[in-house]
Structures are given as structure tokens and as C-alpha cells.
Amino acid sequence: MSALPEQTLGRPTPSLSVFDEADHAWAVSGTPGSIARLSRVERPVPHPGLREVLVRVTACGVCRTDLHLAEHELAPRRPSVVPGHEAVGEVVVRGPAAHRFDVGDRVGVAWLRHTCGACTACRRGRENLCPRSTYTGWDADGGFAEHVVVPEAFAYRIPDAFGDAEAAPLLCSGIIGYRALRRAAVPPGGRLGIYGFGASAHVTAQLAVAPKP
């Protein structure tokens, strides 16, 4: 294996001791039609790839999609995948070419994990519609674990204003609710209809009635 060009090397990995201990996670088990369940599993701490970071999870929300996965209504794309795509945590190890965050930074891990960056949807800023997109907790293990790996380009810096548990639901229900609210383009004093009141609606309703900055 050839060495990486010097300019792609990140700062020295602070400690590899995190990989010395086992990681505990909740993985989808059972089969379609069986009783839905998640099973506690012990696994090696995942290693971040070239432009990925390893995050020590401090909070992870539960989305209805996680339950669809556990119930096999949404077929897991990997056996024993670990759900969880509203994860907040601390960067503990950076991949060799990951420079966007420092060790110790607090980041969020959301549903959208990767897009191609080249298709029509990606080039129009609608990467959520990318046909080659991949997803946290579906294509790759998510945040129902002590550690999760995320591509740095798809991690979110979490502002200090939010606690871990407050920030977690923003990473799925907040993102889709905010997008829907913007696309609704409600005029000042206008009326907003919310149909199906779930996790995103409770965030969207707070945004809709909050004083505008």
C-alpha cells in the first residue's frame, strides 16, 4: 500500500486506545414478519475512512424510520444494521484526510450520509433527491451505539446554544420540517396547515410561531 501524499495527511491521530475496547450497539435483528426487535451487540469500534470521523455518541433521537427498520417494513440494506440518524457526539478520531473538524468538536450525524455530487439533483442543491444517495442507519451503521463513523462532509457542527438531547431531533425531524416550512412560503400572518402531527411537526410548529429574527 502506498503512502498518502503529505498534503492529505491529517494531524496525528490523538490516541488509538478507543479501538482497544469493544463498542456496544443496538442492531436490527429478526426477519420480516417476526417480532420487531433490536438486539444489543458487541462489536469492534468502527474505524473512520479517509475523509470520515469517528464520533463518540452522547445522544441519539429515535425516528419513525428507525422503527420501520426494526419492524422490517423498510428492508435493512445491511444485515444487523445499527439504526439511529439523529446522533450527537464528540469527534474522537479523524480519518487520515479528514480536516473539517478537530478532535473534541461536537457534531451531529443525520440521515443523509452521502450523495454523488454530480447528478442533476445534486447540482441543483436538491441532493436529498440524489439517486445514488446513502443513509445513516440503513446503508451504514448509525447512532444507536457508543460510536458512529460519519463522512465529515455530511456531519453538522452543533452550536453551543443546544444541549445534546435538544440538538438530536433537529438532525432528522428538524431538517425535514424546516425544509417543508421554507417550501410552504407562508406569508407574514398567513395560515399554515400541518397534516400528520409527528416529530417533524412539533419542531416545525415551534419554528412557525417563533418571532422572526
Residues that bind Zn ion (CB under 5 A): 63, 65, 115-116, 119, 122, 130, 172
- CA–CA gap between residue 140 and residue 158 (Å, rounded): 22
Q: Which sign, positive or negative, has the C-alpha torsion 135, 163, 159, 55?
A: negative
Q: Which residues are bridge partners to 25 per DSSP?
A: 41, 145
Cα separations in angstroms, 76 against 5, 110, 132, 139: 37, 17, 17, 8
Among residues 27 and 130, whose Cβ is nearest to Zn ion? Answer: 130
Among residues 81 and 93, whose Cβ is nearest to Zn ion? Answer: 81
Among residues 64 and 100, whose Cβ is nearest to Zn ion? Answer: 64
Tell me how far, at minimum, the Cβ of 75 lies from Zn ion, in Å.
Answer: 16
- CA–CA gap between residue 22 and residue 59 (Å, rounded): 19
Tell me how far, at minimum, the Cβ of 51 lies from Zn ion, in Å.
Answer: 17
Q: Are 69 and 143 in contact (CB under 8 A)?
A: no
Tell me how far, at minimum, the Cβ of 118 lies from Zn ion, in Å.
Answer: 6
**β-bridge pairing 106-109 and 155-157:** antiparallel
Q: Cβ neighbours of residue 134 under 8 Å, at least 6 residues apart?
A: 113, 114, 140
Tell me how far, at minimum, the Cβ of 44 lies from Zn ion, in Å.
Answer: 26
Tell me how far, at minimum, the Cβ of 77 lies from Zn ion, in Å.
Answer: 15
Among residues 78 and 123, whose Cβ is nearest to Zn ion? Answer: 123
Among residues 45 and 66, whose Cβ is nearest to Zn ion? Answer: 66
CA-nearest of 95, 66, 104 to 82 is: 66
